[in-house]
A and B are shown apart, each in its own frame.
Chain A
């Protein structure tokens, strides 16, 4: 696995707005995953997108993958204060390999 790099490092928005976070990676992937971490807590898996998929939805989350640009984006629509957290991407790599995470995007949603 390789390290994904999230962008921006920090994002502040108002409740109800959409939040977009980006992830870039360097080599070919099997899948790309997004995780959320509430302050000081363990990471929680949000969504996985396979390398042959271009877009995937889960509730208010929308993930896109552009393998030609080696990038992915996570869109959270109609943000809520409870979405305040850090978001990390990681490439799934081959089965059984460890996930390597980037430094994450810290999202603050104010009411």
Chain B
């Protein structure tokens, strides 16, 4: 049984560009959450999706947007990249009925130059 998968593993962008990160949840999971983890810090919650809608959002600007597809996979989009957006982006999925319990993918390392 495959766990949470994310693509790409690494990405390099320049300031002002746009980026899309992808996540596939574990089988049987319908909820996807996204986190940003700066170096040496704990993850910060960006937003959570289930039933193809954004259900909760952390303290992140509108440059961060997302989408959930009917197969429960999800995308995180970041527009107008800033140097400060350089971080590890983690996706987590949760099973139906246990939305609070989150299982993480390996992350995407984004470097903005």
User: Does B associate with A?
Assistant: no
Task: Give B residues with C-beta under 8 Å from A.
Answer: none
